[in-house]
Amino acid sequence: MRSTSRARPGTMVTYPDSVRFLYELGNEIRTAKLGLDRMRALLGELGHPERACRYVHVAGTNGKGSTCAMVESGLRAAGVRTGLYTSPHLITPTERIRIAGEEVSEERFAWAFEIAHRTAEEMLRREELDAHPTYFETLTAMAFLLFREAGVETVVLEVGLGGRLDATNVVDPLLTAITPVDFDHESHLGNALRTIAREKAGILKPGVPAVFARQRPEAMEALEERAAELGIPTARTEDWRIGGLEIDKFGHRCLASGPGRTIRIECPLAGEHQVENSVTAAAILAALGIPNEAIERGIRQVRWPGRLERVSERPEVLLDGAHNPAGIRALAAHLRRFYRDRRLFLIYGSMRDKSVDEIAGVLSPLAHRIILAPLETQRAVRPEALLRFFPDERAEVAPGVGQALALARSAARDEDVIVITGSLMLVGKASELLANRMIQADA
């Protein structure tokens, strides 16, 4: 794949140039090329930057981003120089690559892009690649370059899609982990939960211990079968005992007792589903030998924006990037538990590859008013098309995210709640508008 971007070998690439070129490569899901040959060839030409660090490699359908954030925070609390690689981003691609808790600068992002892109172009010229690396492959190579340059010791590495053939699956990790497996990206990963779990289990490696979060029985069976084939030790969060659990709309507290230790968890991430994520993170950190005090401090200090994030009061505004049925069910459980008696204004937008009919069936009964907003991508469902999934007088279409927010805020009373969900792209745009106070009719 060739591009018309201004980014060219031998030129100094700016940050906007690098982002523009990456977007020109196409959407990271739609254009994903599952397979590792191209990635391995590129990394070999770059001097194998992926071999410079240790890795905790995390796959799963839901909760893997939150779990990765908690694990990285715990490692950092223990004095480890950390890297964190996650996807997708909310507002800017620099969010995906973090070093010692801080997202990489635009200058270093552009530096890494120029090296990865220039190397790929030269390999294409020599016919050593079949095509330019994809969006996600390029970003992953950039992350490895940046982690090596910064002298990172341990990277918490989130899988992008699946596991077995994901571009991140080129590392030799210290430990692997798999968060809850559910249905998402079926066109890439299959329509059976067992098949999806086997794809996630593709990150398991001989001689490398694994941690498994609680799973549906068919998913756990597939994970344990693969672990047995490899003869690797496994730890399961269902073997941890949870005591003194207290959940409120701001997070949870509990005592998690696993093999040989009891950890006091105070997690500031909202949602009952975060209990499993925090225990999974604690189990991962315990398996790495991190002291209790660092685990507890790391989880207590974690931040993970856009996931049941409360960004405003009177009325309360919640941002939640849930985009598949399991994530939406977790959101709905939180709303029923803590906002049952309050009017809910729902702002929703979705990509085409999501189970919108199932998601609408979960959300619609909770909403007093539904505002359908457009997303700035060809992958999105037009809001007008979403109306058939919310077919009553409560649903309406807004021409933009800013207008959707303005409609909700003009109609909501102080005691009401506004929930923005369905896509991380929607949540990111809303977060940006709210932060800049750009909520007006023409936003």
Assess whether pLDDT exceeds 90 at residue 1. Answer: no
Write the pLDDT tens digit of every residue in 127-150. 999 999 999 999 999 999 999 999
pLDDT in the model for residue 102: 98
Mean pLDDT, the chain, whole residue set: 92
- Listed range (11-25, 38-52, 57-71, 183-197) with the worst mean pLDDT: 183-197
pLDDT in the model for residue 4: 33
- Listed range (7-21, 32-46, 180-194, 256-270) with the worst mean pLDDT: 180-194
Q: Where are the domains of the chain?
A: 15-234, 310-435
Is cis: bond before 259, omega within 30 of 0? no
pLDDT in the model for residue 443: 39
Nearest to 310 by CA among 267, 370, 249: 249
pLDDT in the model for residue 34: 67
CATH of domain 15-234: 3.40.1190.10
As given in the structure block, the two tokens for residue 385 are 């098309």
pLDDT in the model for residue 241: 97
Round to whole Å and give the CA distance between 175 and 181.
Answer: 18
CA distance to 213, 238, 417, per residue, from 314 (Å): 37, 39, 8
Write the pLDDT tens digit of every residue in 63-86. 999 999 999 999 999 999 999 999
- Listed range (132-136, 211-215, 281-285, 438-442) with the worst mean pLDDT: 438-442
- Listed range (28-32, 135-139, 343-347) with the worst mean pLDDT: 28-32
The answer to whether domain 15-234 and domain 310-435 are alike in fold is no
**Hunting for tokens 């796959």 — which residue is that?**
59
CATH of 310-435, one of 3.40.50.2000, 3.90.1150.10, 3.90.190.20, 3.40.50.1820: 3.90.190.20
pLDDT in the model for residue 28: 53
